[in-house]
């Protein structure tokens, strides 16, 4: 599987996107199948169709939002795409409503409760699976490094915790998963942080990982070509006194991104396992050993991805809060839809703000 992962990275962002989509669909399918087995509702009229229909709607909504933001120029060119994107929310809502009405009309007298349960089950599954996968794709667009480092940290934590537990494990961690131990947990934590540091050092050197994915109008494909931002330029840091005496170096050259990677690895090791415990509890609650039997020896796709649940959301929130501000092209797009007087007002405010900061001089105005 790891070799496969490397091949896919090599193939580029579009293929990664498609893989993420497929994983999402498979996870959804696995969880819904469990729901059917639990409730013996495989023969409920319409229900399978409705679940897939809702999956389609929600995916349409999210992809439309993402595509509109990132492929702004492409969308503006094509008339039908422009209309679709302008009324995107309305169209998605209408599609969802149709599904909702179909559900109401499909309620059968003796099976009300079952149908409501499956409805709730579908929605919770959508919430977990689809939102996570879309946040993963958002992270991907930010730069492939934001996709690769978190996922590898979670995988590394899984493996390291298992090995530490295997060799040194003694104190059980939590009743839910009797095989996890404190030694595995802590050993995995340190190993993951170190791994994250090394990995980000290696990857920050290459443009193809570090640059945001953009859609190039002329070549009609995705390009990852840019001037690396501050995060990915080597800077010198003065080591605090404590470590200075140990290592004997005064300064160290690191990428600022590596400091962020410490935060990401810490999250992966400390909170990621909770996603795993959640999935274990779920399996125990519904008395299943594995989510499915897709991967021999490993169980279903969900078994592999259970710790990733929270990671994607965390990375997305982290990026939005600490790394970058809002997306400039999206802002321009929003700006263009405002009324002229509002546009003028914003323009003047921006102008005075930039002049205050000294970014704008009278000479530059003339250009």
Do residues 166 and 342 touch, judged by C-beta distance below 8 A? no
For another protein, the binding residues in 276-295 under the rule CB under 8 A are 277-278, 281-282, 284-287
SS3 of residue 143 by DSSP: coil
Q: Which of 29, 111, 138, 304 binds another protein (CB under 8 A)?
A: 111
The packing angle between helices 112-142 and 309-318, to 10°, is 50
- The nearest distance, CB 27 to another protein, in angstroms, is 16
- CB neighbour list of residue 278: distance below 8 Å, 6 or more residues apart: 306, 309
Q: Which of 14, 56, 259, 350 binds another protein (CB under 8 A)?
A: 350
- CB neighbour list of residue 250: distance below 8 Å, 6 or more residues apart: 238, 239, 244
Do residues 305 and 158 touch, judged by C-beta distance below 8 A? no
User: Site mask, another protein, residues 173-192, x = CB under 8 A?
Assistant: -xxx----------------
113 binds another protein (CB under 8 A): yes
Alpha helices in the chain, H assignment, sequence order: 2-11, 13-39, 47-70, 72-77, 79-86, 88-105, 112-142, 145-168, 182-203, 207-210, 241-247, 256-270, 272-285, 301-305, 309-318, 328-336, 340-357, 362-365
- The nearest distance, CB 210 to another protein, in angstroms, is 17
- CB neighbour list of residue 65: distance below 8 Å, 6 or more residues apart: 88
- The nearest distance, CB 281 to another protein, in angstroms, is 5
339 binds another protein (CB under 8 A): yes
259 binds another protein (CB under 8 A): no
- The nearest distance, CB 286 to another protein, in angstroms, is 7
- The nearest distance, CB 171 to another protein, in angstroms, is 17
116 binds another protein (CB under 8 A): yes
Q: Which of 166, 351, 352, 361 binds another protein (CB under 8 A)?
A: 351
- CB neighbour list of residue 10: distance below 8 Å, 6 or more residues apart: none
Q: Which of 8, 190, 344, 352 binds another protein (CB under 8 A)?
A: 344
Q: Which of 197, 206, 162, 204 is nearest to 183 (CA)?
A: 162
101 binds another protein (CB under 8 A): yes
90 binds another protein (CB under 8 A): yes
Residue 348 neighbours by CB distance under 10 Å: 10
Tokens of 88: 């995107």
For another protein, the binding residues in 202-241 under the rule CB under 8 A are none
320 binds another protein (CB under 8 A): yes
Identify which range of 22-30, 105-113, 184-192, 235-243 contacts another protein by CB under 8 A.
105-113
Q: Which of 248, 289, 326, 356 binds another protein (CB under 8 A)?
A: 326
- The nearest distance, CB 153 to another protein, in angstroms, is 17
Looking at the DSSP bridge assignments, the partners of residue 214 are: 223
Q: Which is nearer to another protein, 101 or 198 (CB)?
A: 101
Identify which range of 17-25, 151-159, 168-176, 188-196 contacts another protein by CB under 8 A.
168-176
User: What are the DSSP calls for 283-346, one per residue?
Assistant: HHHTT-SSS-SSBTTTB-HHHHHGGGHHHHHHHHHHIIIII--S-HHHHHHHHHTS-HHHHHHH
80 binds another protein (CB under 8 A): no
SS3 of residue 175 by DSSP: coil
297 binds another protein (CB under 8 A): no
Q: Which of 7, 18, 83, 107 binds another protein (CB under 8 A)?
A: 107
For another protein, the binding residues in 21-60 under the rule CB under 8 A are 38-40
Q: Which is nearer to another protein, 174 or 239 (CB)?
A: 174
């Amino acid at each position: 599987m790891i070799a496969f992962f490397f091949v896919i990275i090599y193939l580029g962002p579009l293929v990664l996107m498609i893989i993420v989509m497929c994983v999402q669909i498979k996870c959804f399918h696995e969880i819904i199948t469990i729901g059917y087995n639990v409730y013996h509702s495989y023969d409920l009229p319409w229900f399978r169709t409705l679940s897939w229909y809702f999956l389609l709607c929600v995916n349409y909504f999210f992809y439309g939002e993402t595509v509109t933001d990132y492929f702004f120029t492409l969308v503006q060119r094509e008339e039908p795409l422009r209309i679709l994107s302008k009324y995107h929310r309305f169209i998605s809502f209408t599609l969802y409503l149709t599904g909702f009405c179909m559900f109401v009309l499909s309620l059968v007298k003796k099976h009300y409760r079952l149908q409501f349960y499956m409805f709730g089950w579908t929605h919770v599954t959508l919430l977990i699976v689809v939102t996570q996968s879309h946040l993963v794709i958002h992270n991907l667009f930010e730069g492939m490094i934001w996709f690769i480092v978190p996922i590898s940290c979670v995988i590394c934590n899984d493996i390291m915790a298992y090995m530490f537990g295997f060799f040194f494990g003694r104190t059980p961690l939590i009743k839910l998963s009797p095989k996890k131990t404190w030694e595995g947990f802590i050993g995995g934590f340190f190993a993951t942080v170190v791994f994250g540091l090394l990995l980000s050092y290696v990857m920050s050197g290459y443009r193809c990982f570090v640059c945001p994915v953009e859609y190039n109008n002329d070549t009609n494909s995705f390009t990852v070509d840019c001037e690396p931002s501050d995060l990915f330029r080597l800077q010198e840091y003065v080591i605090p006194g404590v470590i200075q005496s140990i290592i004997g170096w005064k300064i160290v050259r690191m990428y600022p991104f590596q400091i962020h990677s410490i935060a990401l690895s810490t999250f992966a090791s400390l909170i990621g396992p909770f996603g795993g415990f959640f999935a274990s509890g779920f399996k125990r609650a519904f008395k299943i050993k594995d989510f499915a039997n897709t991967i021999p020896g490993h169980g279903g796709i969900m078994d592999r991805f259970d710790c990733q649940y929270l990671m994607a959301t965390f990375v997305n929130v982290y990026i939005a809060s600490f790394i970058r501000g809002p997306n400039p092209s999206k802002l321009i797009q929003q700006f263009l839809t405002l009324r002229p007087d509002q546009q003028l007002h914003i323009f003047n405010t921006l102008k005075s703000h930039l002049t205050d900061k000294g970014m704008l001089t009278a000479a530059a105005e003339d250009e």
